[in-house]
Amino acid sequence: MKDSELNIRQIDPTLYNKDLAPIQRSKRSWGWFEIFNVWSNDIQSLFGYTLAASLFLSYGLNGWAVMSAIILAGFIVMFLVNLTGKPSVKYGIPFPVLIRASMGIRGANFPAMLRATVGIFWYGVQTYFASTAVALLITAMYGPGDGATFLGLSGVAWLSFVIVWVFQIAIFWQGIEPIKRFLNWAGPLVYVVMMALMLVVWYQAGSDLLPAVGSIFNSGGEQSGNPVGAFLAVVGTMVAYFAAVVINFGDFTRFVRSERDMKLGNLLGLPVNVAFFSFIALIITAGTIVLFGEALTNPAEIVERVDSVPLTIVAALTFFAATVGINLVANFIPPAYDLANLFPGKISFKVGGLITATIAFFVGALWLSVISQIGVPGFVNALGAILAPFYGIIVADYYFVKRQHLDMEQLFSSDPGGAYHYVKGWNTRALMAFGVAAIFSISTVLVPALSELSGYGWLIGAALGGGLYRLLMLSSEPMAPAQPKS
């Protein structure tokens, strides 16, 4: 249904603004390349590279098994996001509006604010990490400064942090199109630089490189536990890495012209992209064994060992672009929509972004000296874990309860008899399903005995949430609209 077709008389201004409204297909400009670059920027960060390289060394599996696990994880995430992305392609609505259909028009604020909290926190942290790339650049060109610090950050570090913080706001404030252009530029640039680094390492390592690669593929580390468990742990770790974007993927697919574009972008951006990027990480890691006598998985450390000013400058710009890219994708756009959904009449997408950036400034500024020392990341990771059941609830509701049909007018209506009003705007059955499944999800983070499930606990939590929701809704079919409007 087009935005212009909404019955204005039925729209509640506390549920509606132009940023949350359905986007007409004629006004969408994203294709497969834009979706591909959402994933490119997600994996090609400092942490993404380190994770990919570390997987070949950490689980005691040979390289072929690790590569297979990484590719399998890519296909799993592709399947998951195809499910959550499809309704937003069809209706042009973001995640906090989509989840009104299952949680209720008021209950949707609960998962939205949980997602916003996680996003804002990691937005601040990633802003700090992006600033370290800028600090690397400034230091290489002008020196480290006088060494004085405040809250653990030097003058150069503070300048770099403010530069990154302002830069991200400047991009965001111009709207979704400039963000799209930045992602389309940053993703390919990182690939070019990483491939260049791979070729340089390969050239310097010479004939010793392939034997080093072979040693990784033959052993991969000290074997611990059974190989099946290790294989599943690699799969689960990669799936968990993408979990933050999986649940609110509709925030991006609402801009896509067709479902075909979404699926092609997901195919190229997930299993294909992850496999190729992991291969690059493997070659570079093997090269560091030859060149430095040990496996280095941190790109910044590799650049530091090379000790080349030109390489440092190029690398710093690349690390900056990659980290800002993932920050915009995973941690900025979602909270902006989630906060806009809280008070649509007062908070627009841009205002939501400013609130996100303001709170995140203090998170990033205090990260090194305070937050990273007091266990707050564990708390935020726990919040991230309990988001898993909402994924299952969204999928079960859209595909099995609503049968892929939503009533756009009712999503923006507070009529007590409305399809998504449930009980005072809250679907109590969805809350029950969430509560039970969330106990399991959070246990995988907080209970030591379940720590081995932490990697793929997200998948189990999502399945539990969806299954319980479907069972509870079966006993109350009249709560779902009998023949909703499409």
3-state secondary structure 167-190: HHHHHHHCCHHHHHHHHHHHHHHH
> What is the average per-residue pLDDT within 324-349?
90
Does pLDDT of 305 surpass 80? Answer: no
Please, what is the average pLDDT of the chain? Answer: 85
Quote the crossing angle between the two packed helices 46-58 and 109-142, to the nearest 10°.
Answer: 90
> What is the average per-residue pLDDT within 41-53?
78
pLDDT of residue 482: 42
In contact, 355 and 347? CB cutoff 8 Å: yes
pLDDT tens per residue, range 60-98: 777 788 889 999 999 999 999 999 999 999 999 999 999
pLDDT of residue 233: 81
* C-alpha torsion sign, points 168, 173, 176, 181: negative
Cβ neighbours of 380 (radius 10 Å): 19
Cβ-in-10-Å burial (0-12, 13-18, 19+) of 142 comes to exposed
Does pLDDT of 335 surpass 90? Answer: yes
pLDDT tens per residue, range 171-181: 988 888 888 88
C-alpha to C-alpha distance for 98 and 103, rounded to whole angstroms: 9
Between 99 and 154, residue with greater pLDDT? 99
Dihedral in degrees, nearest 10, Cα atoms 256, 399, 388, 271 = -50
Selection from 92, 17, 65, 346 nearest residue 228 by Cα: 65
Enumerate the domain spans of the chain.
Answer: 14-374
Does pLDDT of 131 surpass 50? Answer: yes
> What is the average per-residue pLDDT within 142-165?
86
> What is the average per-residue pLDDT within 425-433?
96
CA distances from 349 to 94, 190, 265, 332 (A): 11, 28, 25, 11
CB hemisphere CA count around 55 (13 angstroms): 33
Highest mean pLDDT among 39-48, 440-449, 459-468: 459-468
Does pLDDT of 480 surpass 50? Answer: no
C-alpha to C-alpha distance for 180 and 121, rounded to whole angstroms: 23
* C-alpha torsion sign, points 402, 403, 407, 411: positive
pLDDT tens per residue, range 194-217: 888 788 888 888 888 888 877 776
Between 295 and 39, residue with greater pLDDT? 39
Task: Return the SS3 of 13.
Answer: coil
Does pLDDT of 450 surpass 70? Answer: yes
pLDDT tens per residue, range 26-36: 999 999 999 99
Across 117-228, the runs of DSSP E, i.e. the strands, are 149-150, 153-154
pLDDT tens per residue, range 350-376: 999 999 999 999 999 998 888 877 766
> What is the average per-residue pLDDT within 385-397?
92
Query: What is the pLDDT confidence band of residue 380, given thresholds at 50, 70 and 90?
Result: low
DSSP state of 24: P
In contact, 414 and 105? CB cutoff 8 Å: yes
C-alpha to C-alpha distance for 75 and 82, rounded to whole angstroms: 10
Does pLDDT of 454 surpass 80? Answer: no
pLDDT of residue 219: 56
pLDDT of residue 193: 80
Close Cβ partners of 179 (under 8 Å, ≥ 6 residues apart): 171, 172, 328, 333
CATH of 14-374, one of 3.30.10.20, 1.10.4160.10, 3.20.20.210, 3.40.190.10: 1.10.4160.10
